[in-house]
Structure 1
Amino acid sequence: MSHLSGKRGGVDVEVTPLPGIGVRKDFPLAGSGRRVGVVDRKDGTVDLILSRPGNPDECEQVAMTVTEAATLAGLLGAPQLVGQLAAEQRDLDDVNTRHLSIRTGSPYAGRLLGDTRMRTRTTASIVAVVRGGQTIPSPGPDFTMVAGDQLIVVGTGAGLDAAATILVDG
């Protein structure tokens, strides 16, 4: 599982994809040995999480409805966070994500991901594959693609268009 991190308001926030579930975003509480954060679930619900002292993997989770999460965010200062997130999003305007299918008859059905040379040819990156409802994060060049796979590809609009063409035409 990959972890991303970045500073928000001077605090290191760790972002962890949870395949099939959503994304965990948390940060350490100063001097307590605990972490606090949220799990943004794919179904739109949010869990508030608070780790046990000294053990970030053992968490107490509180499920919240979208309305409850919005209310809590308002209490915690959501207007400032919304402004900050909007500013961060402007920095990522050229980065897009697209789901591309390996269709029956694709020249890459039954072949290795590395055979596409996707990154070299398009500057787009295949960051995950969804197969039969299961997410396979960060597939390597030795991953064999099959018809029906959904590739999660990140790149510029032009790079994603080129990636789609490669998967169809070779």
Structure 2
Amino acid sequence: MRHDFQTRSGRRLGVVSHHHGRRDLVIYDPDDPDSSRDSIALTAEESDALSELLGAPHIVEKLADISSAFAGLVGEQIAILPDSPFAGRPLGDTQARTRTGASIVAVVRDQIVHASPRPDFRFEAGDIVVVVGTPENTASVAALLHSG
């Protein structure tokens, strides 16, 4: 699948997503918009890193916008404390969505936002877990992360 866009300065960029996870960052030739000037192959991990670098400053802002746009939903930030039963364990072990109905949408570690963390993402003490749900659901996630 290919996604293209044009920058404000008129340059065309694109991303080609392959079924096996590789993505190609494409820089189109300014003189021939149908021809690429350069293409950079990225692994799934490199794609994730690039999207985090590009999107990290905006994720928390977007969560605030989502909270105000959807009445009844809130975004909460919950710290993983050193004595949390989930410190050092993968997100999937929490079964947070199934147990509480709230969604863990990001984890902030060392000022880096890990958006949409997968079930194998391992929590560390000091992580800030960003949760979206009702006030009751997000409180349940906080209780879960703090006491199991």
Q: What TM bracket, shorter-length normalisation?
A: 0.5 to 0.7
Q: Aligned pair in 2 of structure 1 residues 92, 136: CA closer, same or farther (>3 Å)?
A: same
TM-score (structure 1 length as normaliser): 0.50
Greater relative contact order (CA < 8 Å, ≥ 6 in sequence): 2
* Runs of 5+ unmatched residues, structure 1: 1-32, 36-49, 59-87
How do 1:94-133 residues align onto structure 2 when only pairs under 5 Å count? Answer: 94-133=72-111
The corresponding residue for 2:135 is 157
Root-mean-square deviation (CA), in Å? Answer: 2.6
The corresponding residue for 1:12 is none
1:53, distance to aligned residue in structure 2 (A): 5.4
* Runs of 5+ unmatched residues, structure 2: 15-25, 28-65
Secondary structure at 1:52 match in 2: coil
How do 1:2-17 residues align onto structure 2 when only pairs under 5 Å count? Answer: none
| Displaced runs of 4 or more, over 2 A | 53-58, 88-91
In 1, Cα distance between equivalents of 2:108 and 2:122: 13
1:137, distance to aligned residue in structure 2 (A): 1.0
Query: Which of 42, 47, 52 is 2:10 aligned to?
Result: 52
Richer in strand (by share): 1
How many residues align? The count is 96
State, as a whole percentage, how many aligned pairs show the same letter: 40
In 1, Cα distance between equivalents of 2:143 and 2:67: 28
Contact 2:67/2:75 (CA < 8 Å) preserved in 1?
A: no
Contact 2:91/2:121 (CA < 8 Å) preserved in 1?
A: yes
1:168, distance to aligned residue in structure 2 (A): 1.1
**1:100-130 CA distance string (max 9 Å, x none):** 0100100111111000000001111111111
TM-score (structure 2 length as normaliser): 0.57
In 2, Cα distance between equivalents of 1:141 and 1:89: 24
1:54, distance to aligned residue in structure 2 (A): 4.1
